[in-house]
Amino acid sequence: MIPLLQFDPASLTLWCDTHLIGSSRGSREIGLALEHAIVGDDRRLRLLVDCVDDPWVQTRAANVASVAWHEKRHFLDFVLTNYGALRVRTYVEAYLNAHSLFALAERDKRILLPLDCNLDEISRELAGIQAPDERLLRVAQAVADRKQMLREDQRPIDSPHGSIQVGGEALLEAIAYHVQMAKVHRLFGVDLLRRVQEDHPGEEVVHLKYRWAWEVLIRQGLLRVDASDHDMLLMKDAPFLPLCYGALAARLWGQPQTRTGSSSSYMPGERFASLAVAVAEDHPGYGQASCEEAWDMVNQTCRRIFGRSAIEETEIDLEHEASFVDTIAKAMPGSEVAAAMTDLHGLRGRLFDLLKDDPAAVLDQSAWADRTVQRTQPLIVVAAPAGEIGEPPKGFARLSGYRHPDTDYEKEPEARWWWSALNEQWPDVADPEILCLRDRSAWTAVVSDYAPFGKLMYAGHKQRLMLGPEVLGARLRAEQAAGIELKVHSAFSHPRHVHDAGFWNFITGRDDFRCDLSSETVRKPEGYMLDAWELRLRPGLRHALLGSVENQRRMQFSLWRDWTPWLLSAEFGDYFNFFETDEASLSGPSGNR
């Protein structure tokens, strides 16, 4: 899959792939729909979608707009809920350790990534690391412990329909999908809702990943399905988000847990299962309750079975977080991480006040759709995986790119480009009504440097990225700055995407493409999609491509710059597979700022 839009918990930013949108049929309409959804202009969005003649473009424009709402909801839930805050904190802990790590590798001048690989003697031997510092091993153990925690949260369980996940991550997805589809219904009506629901590559995956929570709660009698409309189920959904929020109010920070044979106050999956049973026992009319009534019922049941309401659990989590922020501010005064965490804690406090004073604004999909989503404004990162020659447009700060040294860019413009940039003018951080992070300077440092390095510490290069040079560039910059080699374990050397040209046809709405090597037109379902990492793993192919052109320098820049997938005819797909991979070739000037 190639992500068109995604929310990055490591930096709390929403990333948009502008080149992918630009490659789509109806790119102008789809781009405008996305812009209206991001800024929260429902009136213009509806007018635009109403005026589109091409049904495919109309559906896709509505769908892409709805994905922006989905990702905005992730922003709110990751900031506000105890579980979401834990996920963000996981990265912040990595940022806090980033600088000190280099000093701890003084002896071997080498650190293995992901960090937990340093705990393995055989991996260390292979990487030429002889005697790692004990403090480095403690940081590596902390990463391993966090991974263990996240793994337990994401552990799939069997269901009548296949494997499902029921933990915090799965709940965040269920909430985001629910408010996304509910707003599509409210804004565009039932026909477009149906078309948007069908506009994705895999019905089964969507069902298992996003609709599982409805099914569990309907079976438990906690959600009522009253009738059908145009062959679609009508669900009385007011009690849905309150129960999810009760589950996400996880008890963390090493606090003592309340556990019985049938309940646990700890992670969201356990809380969800506990609440699904206990709320049904305590409140037989839960399925008919309003959002506010349901939230009261969930809080009462949480207090009975866990000893604290969800509100109290969040209040205590915020107190722990305040101490954490204070510790960071004292340990790293004036640092970007300290400033970003102070800013984040402030936003979380404002969101918690909103939840207490006006629960519907957060927990009622209609109030969220009509009011809160417009005020929810994450920082936006514009990604250009093909690389844009020159500098980002006015109003955008460059986050990643490349400038070839000792070059006259007037004469050789292709020697300088950018891959990602942060919108400096939106959101309006001075507007007190907007639910956003306000310290743009601190977050710019987080997005460009800390977040990619934090992700490297957890996953090496093996992660779903919109932009390869985000982590590759961060690694090379850190190596140059610290004089330490950051060696990526071979099992984490690159993302393991399985690309297929069919997804390109789906995402762009096009039935053909031009082969990037032969320029011949390749018609659906033929063709081969080559991941940007795969190209970089095959030095022989690079050399062959360089040898095929007269201006090798320009071709070299082009190969460094372009991180979009290559689209090939079947014949050239075979040609590509002829070249052997070499993981060591994943270095070079691909990410210097």
In the range 121-180, which residues lie near another protein by CB under 8 A? 121-123, 125-126, 144, 146-148, 150-151, 154-156, 162-165, 172-173, 176-177, 180
- CB 58 to another protein: min, Å: 15
What are residue 487's phi and psi, to 5 degrees?
Answer: -90, 125
Distances (CA, A) of 412 to 152, 400, 506, 551, 561: 52, 19, 37, 12, 14
Q: How many CB atoms lie within 10 A of CB 482?
A: 17
Query: Closer CB to another protein, residue 205 or residue 549?
Result: 205
Within 571-590, which residues bind another protein (CB under 8 A)? 581-584
Nearer to another protein, 172 or 363 (CB): 172
- Exactly one of 26, 40, 114, 287 binds another protein (CB under 8 A); that residue is 114
Select the residue interacting with another protein from 71, 321, 343, 364 (CB under 8 A): 71
Binding test (CB under 8 A) with another protein, winner from 34, 298, 466, 567: 466
Nearer to another protein, 139 or 298 (CB): 139
Q: How far is the CB of 43 from another protein (least distance, A)?
A: 24
Measured CA to CA, the distance from residue 408 to residue 413 in angstroms comes to 8
CB of 306 to another protein, least distance (A): 26
Residues 47-66 that bind another protein (CB under 8 A): 63-64
Antiparallel, parallel or unpaired: β 110-113 and 485-488: parallel
Smallest separation, CB 173 to another protein (Å):
7
Q: Quote the least distance from Cβ 448 to another protein, whole Å.
A: 16
Give the binding-site size for another protein (rule: CB under 8 A).
Answer: 74
CB of 546 to another protein, least distance (A): 23
Q: Provide, rounded to whole angstroms, the least separation between the CB of residue 64 and another protein.
A: 7
Q: Residue 241: which of 196, 207, 290 has the closest Cα?
A: 290
Could you say which residues in the range 496-515 bind another protein, by CB under 8 A? 503, 507
Distances in whole angstroms, Cα of residue 219 to Cα of each of 162, 204, 206, 213, 583? 17, 19, 19, 10, 49
Q: What is the CA radius of gyration of the chain?
A: 25
Q: How far is the CB of 177 from another protein (least distance, A)?
A: 6
Q: Compute the least distance from the CB of residue 334 to another protein, in Å.
A: 27
Cβ closer to another protein: 67 or 187? Answer: 67
Nearer to another protein, 496 or 554 (CB): 496
Contact 287, 239 (CB under 8 A): yes
From the CB of 97, what's the least distance to another protein, in Å?
A: 15
Q: Which of residues 384-423 bind another protein (CB under 8 A)?
A: none
Q: Please report how close the Cβ of residue 366 comes to another protein at its closest, in angstroms.
A: 21
Contact by Cβ (8 Å): 509, 56: yes
Burial class (CB in 10 A: 0-12, 13-18, 19+), 394: exposed
H-state helical runs in 6-164: 18-23, 27-39, 42-51, 55-80, 82-104, 121-127, 134-153
Given 202, 284, 395, 483, the residue binding another protein (CB under 8 A): 202
Token digits of residue 213:
């929570």
Give the Cα separation of 163 and 235 in Å (integer).
24
The two beta strands, 396-403 and 416-423, are: antiparallel
Whose Cβ is closer to another protein: residue 10's or residue 339's? 10
Applying the rule CB under 8 A, the residues between 204 and 223 that interact with another protein are: 205-206, 208-210
Tell whether residue 7 is a contact of another protein (CB under 8 A): yes
CA–CA distance, 238 with 139 (Å, rounded to integer): 43
Q: How far apart are CB 497 and another protein at their closest, in Å?
A: 10
Other Cβ atoms within 10 Å of 519 Cβ, number = 8
Residue 105 or 164 with smaller CB distance to another protein: 164
Residue 265: count of CB within 10 angstroms of its CB:
22
Q: Which two tokens stand for residue 45?
A: 């969005």
Q: Which has the closest alpha carbon to 421: 448, 456, 449, 461?
A: 448
Residue 516, amino acid: D
Tell me: does residue 116 bind another protein (CB under 8 A).
yes
350 contacts: CB under 8 Å, gap ≥ 6: 435
From 491, 520, 540, 554, residue interacting with another protein (rule: CB under 8 A): 491
| Residue 10 makes contact with another protein by CB under 8 A | yes
| Distance of closest approach, residue 14 Cβ to another protein, in angstroms | 10
Helix (H) or strand (E) holding 180: helix 168-188
**Residue 106 or 125 having the CB closest to another protein:** 125
381 is a contact residue toward another protein (CB under 8 A): no
Beta carbon of residue 191, minimum distance to another protein (angstroms, whole number): 18
Contact residue for another protein among 274, 493, 508, 564 (CB under 8 A): 493
Structure tokens at 228: 């059908």
Q: Which two tokens stand for residue 225?
A: 């399905």
In the region spanning residues 11 to 40, those forming contacts with another protein, defined by CB under 8 A, are: 15
> Should residue 198 be labelled a site residue for another protein when binding is judged by CB under 8 A?
no
- Residue 93 sits in the site that holds another protein (CB under 8 A): no
* 234-293 positions binding another protein, by CB under 8 A: none
The strand pair at 379-389 and 13-17 is best described as: parallel
Whether residue 427 has a cis bond before it, omega within 30° of 0 = yes
Nearer to another protein, 117 or 238 (CB): 117
Give the per-residue contact string, 311-350, with another protein (x = CB under 8 A; - = no): ----------------------------------------
Whole-angstrom CA distances from 546 to 52, 553, 556, 563 are 44, 8, 7, 17
Separation between Cα atoms, residue 175 and residue 73, nearest integer Å: 8
Question: 435-464: which residues touch another protein (CB under 8 A)?
Answer: 454-455, 458-460, 462-464
